[in-house]
Structure 1
Amino acid sequence: MNLKDFIRSIPDYPKKGILFRDITTLIKNEDAFAESINQIVERSKKFKFTKIAAIESRGFVFASAVSYLLKKPFILLRKKNKLPADVHSVDFELEYGTATIEVHKDSLDENDTVLIVDDLIATGGTAEAAAKLVEISKAKVAAFIFVINLFDLGGSDNLVNNNYKVENLIDFPGH
């Protein structure tokens, strides 16, 4: 099954010049969604990790299923002011603005190694912020797994150049 066939491309969303790769068409197809989860689970076997973290919000869709199948704790990396207890926060740049993500301070510690899952990597700002959150929590990043890599925007390469392990299920141009 070619997962690329299930990704819808939407030009000029959320702003002019962005070619948005939409995973809703993949997850609404039960076979394509199952295949994407199976591929993430298979690729995750290369890495040793104690917990799975996902970046809000589309990363939750994939990581929660993987967490359930692998019987690993699931950690939420959320937008600012969405978590009720004490948090670590990291500000970062997006292709189209700035944002903050947070993790509960009691979610991770020095004994944890974390697999970070998200739907897409573009320039890598969000992924780098996620890695910083894990490291601020004294945990280690085992690897990243993305459903879609917008290869010409360089985010995946930047992570690899910063000594992170990265797996991508699908490669697309970002423009």
Structure 2
Amino acid sequence: MQSNTDYIQNLIRDYPDFPKQGILFRDITPVFRDVKSLSLLGDFFYEKFSSIDIDYVAGIEARGFILATILGLRFNKGVIMIRKAGKLPGKTIRQDYSIEYGTAMMEIQSDSITKGDNVLVADDLLATGGTASAAANLIEELGGSVSGFAIIVELSSLGGSKLLQSKGYPVHPMVTYK
């Protein structure tokens, strides 16, 4: 019998040499097209995080928004968006982070979180942990606490999970590639 994790993993498509030579791109688009997988994602992360206090689910742009919405509905919590700089109106705070080719910046609206709010962070992919760490920094700068990271796919050889766990954050990927 196929496990729920295997079901999700079998939907993920591999694209060698995309977006450039030497990169193996793991495409989760088919996961989002499949209604059963949406339910499995909600159930998997509810099981992992139901004993942890959560006030909001934050999604990291862009595919993290989809997972955050699934989890917001499953946990009956509101959803917060963490976006690329310049995409959110109103007062925001920003955080630089490292990416493959240099640095980038993300932001969150300043009134999204109040002191003491517990926030579960959702994203599609965890590689080096730079983006996830920046998201955690934004949440903590606003006085919130990171309840954990719900990740669809982890590329474990790049060390992101270890980085986040070293900072005390629970990290639960559904599918892990070495």
Q: Which category of TM-score, normalised to the shorter sequence, fits these structures?
A: over 0.9
CA contact (8 A) 1:37 1:65 kept: yes
Query: Which position in structure 2 is the counterpart of 1:88?
Result: 93
1:73-84 pair list within 5 angstroms? 73-84=78-89
Partner of 1:37: 42
- For the pair 1:53 / 2:63, whether they are aligned, the reply is no
Aligned to 1:106: 111
Q: Which amino acid aligns with 2:85?
A: K
Per the TM alignment, residue 9 of structure 1 is displaced from its structure 2 partner at its CA by 1.2
Specify the alignment match of 1:12 in structure 2: 17
Q: CA deviation at 1:49?
A: 1.4
- The aligned runs of 1:95-174 (5 Å cut-off) are 95-173=100-178
Give the secondary structure class of the aligned counterpart of 2:67. Answer: helix
What is the SS of the residue equivalent to 1:171?
Answer: strand
Name the stretch that deviates more: 129-138 or 62-71: 62-71
Q: Which runs of 5+ in 2 are unaligned?
A: none
The CA distance in 2 between the partners of 1:98 and 1:20, in whole Å, is: 20
Determine the structure 2 residue equivalent to 1:22. Answer: 27
Contact 1:146–1:167 under 8 Å retained in 2: yes
The one-letter amino acid paired with 1:146 is I
- CA–CA distance in structure 2, aligned partners of residues 28 and 64 of structure 1: 15
Partner Cα distance (1:9, 1:46) in 2: 34
Distance in 1, matches of 2:160 and 2:101, equals: 15
Q: Secondary structure at the match of 2:157?
A: helix
**Whole-angstrom distance in 2 between the partners of 1:128 and 1:5:** 29
- Please state how far the C-alpha of 1:18 moved relative to its aligned partner: 2.1
Alpha-carbon distance in structure 2 between the residues aligned to 1:51 and 1:64:
10
Task: Give the distance between the partners of 1:7 and 1:98, measured in 2 at CA.
Answer: 28
What is the deviation of 1:96? 3.7
The number of residue pairs the alignment matches comes to 173
Q: Which runs of 5+ in 1 are unaligned?
A: none
When the two structures are superposed, what TM-score results if normalisation uses the length of structure 1?
0.94
Q: Secondary structure at the match of 1:17?
A: coil
Change (3 A) 1:170 1:46: farther
Contact 2:153–2:175 (8 Å) recurs in 1: yes
User: Please, what TM-score do these two structures have when normalized by structure 2?
Assistant: 0.92
